[in-house]
Amino acid sequence: MEENNINIEEIMADIKREIKEKGLTGDMLSFEDVPYKKTPQAGGSVREALDFLNSNYNVQPYKELKGNPLKTGFKKVIRKLMKFYIEPTVEDQNNVNSSIVTVLNGLAENSPEKAISKAETLELAQKELLMRIEKLEKENEELRKALGKQENV
């Protein structure tokens, strides 16, 4: 029996070296940034549910028929007989779904949480600007003192 020795440290060192060689940084694309289709789960976020609604509000009137050819043929006949009723109903439902999703998107854009988030972002930006102004004022004062010393010489 052949024994496999796996050196985790060596593997991690190789991975880190490869990342460094490629110039990858932490602010680049991450798994969370990659779009993929998922279904809403119990306990999921409102954003996830809204994303699901945005991509799935349009309902198709017919599903693909598979299985027994006799049953499939019978279902095709029934579809043709019911087409006058099914397709307008599905179109109406799609119009309602589209309107609901549009309203939900508007509500999500103007939600109190979003407003709070925007306010917090503005507060942080304001604090950063105040700190920069304070730093510039100190630099200005130091430069004035240095200029005053040069003029006295």
Nearest to 107 by CA among 52, 47, 57, 56: 47
Tokens of 120: 């917090």
What mean pLDDT comes out for the span 7-23? 85
Nearest to 56 by CA among 94, 99, 110, 29: 94
Crossing angle between the packed helical segments 46-56 and 69-109, to the nearest 10 degrees? 130
Over residues 24-83, the pLDDT tens digits come to 776 666 666 655 555 555 556 777 888 888 888 898 888 898 889 999 999 999 999 999
Contact 105, 54 (CB under 8 A): yes
CA 60, CA 117: separation in Å to the nearest integer? 37
Tokens of 28: 């680049």
The pLDDT, as a whole number, for residue 52 is 85
Domain boundaries, the chain: 9-110, 118-145
CA 45, CA 113: separation in Å to the nearest integer? 13
Instruction: Encode burial over 47-71: b for 16+ CB neighbours within 10 A, e otherwise.
Output: eeebbbeeeebeeeeeeeeeeeeee
* Stated pTM of the model: 0.45
CA 50, CA 46: separation in Å to the nearest integer? 6
